[in-house]
Every structure is written in C-alpha cells, then in structure tokens.
A and B are shown apart, each in its own frame.
Chain A
Amino acid sequence: MPRSIVLFGLLLACCLPAFAAPDGAKLYSRNCAGCHGEKGDGGIGIPLSLPSFHAQVDDDYLKQTVLRGRPGRVMPSFSYLSDAEVDAIVRHMRSWYKGKVPVYPFTPIKGDAKRGEQLFEKHCAGCHGPTGEGGHGTGVTFSRPRDFPIMPPALHNPGYLSSAKDAMIKATLVNGRVGTPMAAFGKRGVKDKDLNDIVAHLRNFEKKPLPSSAKLIETGEAIIVMESPYDLKTTIENVKKAVSSNNFVFIREQPLNAGLVAEGREDPKQHIVYFCNFSLLNQALATDPRVGLFLPCRITVVEQGGKVTMMAANPKRLSRIFNNSELNEMCDQVTKMYIAVMEEAAL
C-alpha cells in the first residue's frame, strides 16, 4: 500500500474523533477557569478537583449544575452550551480524578423534616446560614480578605436542590468534603436517622420561599433616560454640579468618541460625565470585583434633533448580569443616586 494512503488513514483515525467531540479542556478554560481555577483548585466558588468531591458527586449533578447554575450565587447558568459541550466539560473535570464515579438512585430519602430543621440549626447553620442561604461574599473576593478560605455554598438554592439527588446529599453529610471546612458528620457520630432528617429538611426548602440570596432584581430596563429642559452645555454643567451634591466626586468628562477620532474632531453632542463615590466603589469591588466593568459611574448627555437627554446604564439590570444577589442593595442604591442626579440636573 502506498505510504501516503497509510498516512492518510492514520491521520483520519487519530484526528476525526478529536474534531467531532467538543474540546472539554478549552471549554473549561474559557468558561470556568476564571472562577474555579485552571486546574479546578478553586479561588471563587468551590474547588472542583478534590478527590472527595469527585468520589461523591455523580455526572448528572455536574451536568445539571453547569446547565442551571446557582441563581443569585455567582455561579452562572450555561444553558446556552450544547449537551455535547457540557458533557465534554464534565469529562474534562473528571480527568482530574482517577477513582470510581458514583451513581445514585432517584429514590427520595424519608425523614422528619421538623427534627431535621433543629439538627440543621445545631450543626450546619453556623456556616450555611440559618435558612441555608449560604456564606456571605460568595467567595468572589479575589485578593481581598475573605471570611472563609472556601465559601459555604447556598443549600437553599434551586440550582443546587434541583441538581442533587437525596442519596448524594446524604453521601456529602456522611463523608464530608476532605480538604474543605465541610466535615464528615456521619463519621463524627451523627446518627443515620439524624442524617435522613437533615436531608428531609434540605429537600423541604423547595417548598419554602426563596431566601434573598437566591433572588435577583427583576427589571428589563437596560437604561435610565431623562429629558433635560436645558441646552447641551447647561445640562452638562448641571450634571457636574448635581454629581457633587449627591455624594459623588466628579472625575472627568469627554466626548463619547474621544480617542477614536483625531483630536478636535470629536462629536461634542455625545458627552460623557464620569464620577465616583469611592467608598461605594470600594464596597462594590469588595463584594464583587467584576462590577468595575461598569465603572466609573457615568451619565452621558446627548443632543439629538434639538432635544437634550441624559442617559445611564441601569445599575439595577446589572445585578442580574453578575448573578450576585449581594449586589442587589448596592445596585438599587446607585440607581436611586443616578435618578437623583438627573432630576437635580433637570430642575
């Protein structure tokens, strides 16, 4: 057989499957490593590479967690990825683990939820919160101080509860997660019946109202717009004045296309005023450093068809982008401050 044909056959054999299946390592790196680390060693969110974690969770849990995310708790939903892509990511995570992967039955565990609630208060609430809402800070603190090396995740969260089977939850309580603050309660002498009662209590969360940690601000309004009765120049000056009287510091102003066109050729009719409240900024970055993306605060003054308007991105809508319920209050506050500035400027 001519060598070239053999070679061609070899090439086909080795490369075709690689083309057919999505690249799990690349997908993981692109979508997950920012938070969970390149090798799953954690950072933000929980580590994904620990053997005790892999020995405890089934593939379906990993897959559903990726698809559903954890509403309000930073972990996004990747529902836009294809089934094959999610499977590839799961396979990539499993490549960090050499042991046996468990499979769990769907059978619910029966227990006394009322008793479970008391046991939860005693053993668990200190870390996971009295209503299972999870630790504060969500772990997104980067190089800033944090309360725990690993954030206790929210248990009263639809993303978790809809992805975990009862038997898997119980296995977590029996064995804990070695290498994290999550203890092996089964091995610490908590009785089997007690563990069943706790599982029943966790399952019962699904019948209760969502804790605030799983809620995001509901708004479809992408921007805040207000008309100004003044001309462009006066409105810009008014915004700058209103900024200072509303606890902000004026930073700078520029035409929208400054830096894009040659100096002197900018469009003066789209003018950005940047301002900041440093104490709020510091607090926001400590809660979630990603919010810097929409900072510094800004109001753009636009003249079009003889009408002058002030516009800003609606901070309330931003809480949803970051899927971080701890930003809700701040986003709400900053929205009110934006409106106050605009109202004063238009007065």
Chain B
Amino acid sequence: MKLAHAFALTLALWFNSAIADELLMVRSSQNFEDAMTTLQATIAEHGYKVTRVQRVDVGLEAKGYKTDRYRIVFYGKPGEIEALAAKYPKLIPYLPLAVAIFAEEGNTILTTARPALLKQFYPEPELKPIFDRWEKDLVGIMDEVREAK
C-alpha cells in the first residue's frame, strides 16, 4: 500500500544538538502523591481540563516489570483542542497536551514537550499566538508545581 508522504517539514532551525526549549523538565521536592495533586490542581487553575491519567506503572507491573510510580497526565482546553484538530489535522498526533510525572526517590520529576516544539513542526503564523499562550501557561504550571512545598 502506498505510504503517503510523511509531511516533509523543513525546519528553519537545524542545530546539531537538541535545543532545550523543546522540552521542559523540572523536579518537585514533593513526593509523588503530593506532586500529582499539585499538578492536577494547577492545570485546572490555568483553565485547562485533565482528560485522563494514564497509569503506566500499573500497566508495567501487571506485565511483571518493576517500576516506580509513573503516570501521564493528558489535558487540554475544551473547545480549543477540537477546533485546532479540525483546522490543523497535522497537529492531532500531538494532542491533547501531556505531562509525564514520575517518582525519583523522595522527589518527583515532571517532563513535558514545550509548544516551541510544535512551533517548529507547524510554522503557520496563525498558530503562533496559540502556541505562545500554551507556552506561557505551561511554564507557569511547571513553575508552580516546582515551587510547591
């Protein structure tokens, strides 16, 4: 069967190394349960809705693998995700937004792709304000989780 063109997106910025603004990774001094509660509350405070929590650790353990607690929190703004998906189907594989959250001894680590990444993939100028707002909200969310004691 024909493999339809994988969208060849020439990237304006082509660096040898990954640029850190594609990924945000922070450490919370809270334990996993507390950090998880903080994250979900903070996402809601910023006007987004948690759509699902994927329990990766539970799945792995059920298959006999050992792991510390590991979840993925999916979230988005009602209305916004559908509108974007309808207009820019290329964005769909990267929606809804997600944060990976996992235990690291007494601390918790959170990782998320920055919208700057999507900006590189999808340079349409009309998307820029949306990505910029996500970026601002996301950095705010991660800062709050990081600073929560």
Instruction: Please give me the residue from chain A that is nearest to B71 by CB atom.
Output: A292
Residues on B with C-beta less than 8 A from A227 are 2, 4
Q: Is B85's beta carbon under 8 Å from chain A? A: yes
- Counting chain B residues whose Cβ lies within 8 A of the other chain, the interface size class is 35 or more
Interface segment out of the listed A96-104, A127-135, A310-318: A310-318
- B130 within 8 Å of A by Cβ? no
A144 to B9, CA, bound (A): 36
Bound-complex Cα distance A220 to B13 (A):
10
> Quick check: B19 and A313 within 8 Å, CB to CB?
no
Which residue in chain B gives the minimum CB-CB distance to A262? B78
Describe B's contact surface by its main secondary structure.
mixed
Q: Given A223-B93, A278-B63, A309-B4, answer yes or no on A142-B49 (Cβ-Cβ < 8 Å).
A: no
Contacts of B7 in A (CB 8 A): 221-223, 225
Q: Is A20 an interface residue (CB 8 A)?
A: no
What chain A residues lie within 8 Å of B15 (beta carbons)?
77, 79
Verify B20–A260 contact, CB threshold 8 A.
Answer: no
* B20→A267 contact, CB < 8 A: no
- Contact in complex: A282, B82 (CB < 8 Å): no
CB-CB < 8 A to A79: which residues of B? 15, 19
- Is the Cβ of B9 less than 8 Å from the Cβ of A220? yes
What are 6 pairs between A and B in contact, CB < 8 Å? A29-B26, A34-B110, A143-B68, A227-B4, A259-B51, A294-B113
* Extra pairs beyond A43-B104, A292-B111, A323-B17 (15, CB < 8 Å): A38-B29, A76-B20, A76-B23, A78-B20, A79-B19, A223-B90, A225-B7, A257-B82, A267-B85, A289-B102, A293-B100, A293-B111, A294-B98, A294-B113, A339-B3
